[in-house]
A = this chain, B = another copy of it.
Amino acid sequence: MAVTNKYIAIKNFINGVPKDSDFELKTESLSLSLEPVPSFLVIVKTLYLSIDPSQLNRMKEYSSSQKAISFATRINPGEVIDSIGVGRVVASNQTEFVKGFSGLTAYGGFFEVCKPKKGERVFVSTAAGSVGNLVGQYAKLSGCFVVGCTGTDQKVELLKEKLGFDDAFNYKKEPDLKLALKRYFPDGIDIYFDNVGGEMLEAVVENMNVQGRIAACGAISEYANTRNKKVSLSLIDIIYKRIIIQGFLTPDLMNMSEDFISATSAHICAGKIHVLEDVSFGLESVPTAFIGIFRGDNIGKKIVKISD
């Protein structure tokens, strides 16, 4: 069967913050077939696409870290951009197929990397984002004290009123992040779930307690950075306070996905976890949705609905 497939491509490699003119809508003809049979073939109609800031790292001409790491392979101009999403299986020559994943980053990163204990003090950045809002909710369910930071007053309210964070603040209104953290954590921070890197991470290290743990989940401050600015850390703090900084990626946490799904769905059904989704409509809205993530436009998980 021959079909026409629409997709979004980059027109050029992206250096810095992405903008509309970096993207284009393209069409291609596809011949759909389930032959040859010994191969595992499945035809999927895309219903939803996940919009993830880390995709920007794949759109750069060069990044040392992307070499030899298969799931961070470079996207070239004009190529189809692969992404996580939800699809309907239209046809398959086998009965089993791979499941997608979502929310596992927050679950696995928090429980496996941060190893929370009841009563510990947890700080989450981009706390109204797709991962951060769930980390905060898991932390509350674990008996921790949780403060989140985000970029608008509206999102601060959401964190405190709807998601049950103990406190939250708008980092754009804080001239001195170190002092802000000292105010929100007079007894120091035990766990930091880091989605941004940069100055916030530097301020956290200064306010961290002995035996503190930092889950390095994202570094959105570096993704769109043209000046190759890196985070400046005090090793003396890291050594004397015996801090652990651990980078992680969700594919390493796949062994936790059953736990994640059973625990999370039970909490959702019991009304103890709120799901925040921020939906745009139509493939054409993908570039705007993607660009918006770097401005902090989204509240919760950004997805694009492609078809019913």
Residues of chain A whose beta carbon lies under 8 Å from any beta carbon of chain B: 57, 63-66, 69, 72, 197, 201-202, 206, 210, 216-219, 222-223, 230-249, 252
Contacts and interface: CB of A to CB of B under 8 A. Distances in A.
B247 A69 contact: no
Interface hub of A66, A206, A223, A232 (most chain B Cβ within 10 A)? A232
Given A65-B240, A217-B239, A231-B232, 12 more contacts: A64-B237, A69-B210, A197-B235, A218-B239, A219-B236, A219-B239, A222-B236, A231-B235, A239-B248, A239-B249, A242-B247, A242-B249
A177 to B, nearest CB: 15
Q: Is the interface of A mostly helix, strand, loop or mixed?
A: mixed
29 contacts: A57-B240, A63-B236, A65-B236, A65-B239, A65-B240, A65-B241, A72-B240, A202-B230, A216-B235, A217-B239, A219-B235, A219-B236, A222-B234, A223-B236, A230-B232, A230-B233, A231-B233, A232-B232, A233-B233, A237-B247, A239-B247, A240-B247, A240-B249, A241-B247, A242-B247, A242-B248, A244-B245, A244-B246, A245-B245
Nearest to A212: B247
Contacts of A235: 197, 201, 216, 219, 222, 230-231, 247
A103 to B, nearest CB: 18
A242 B233 CA distance: 18
Nearest to A69: B240
Q: Which of A57, A244, A247 has the most CB of B within 10 A?
A: A247
Contacts of A241: 65, 69, 247
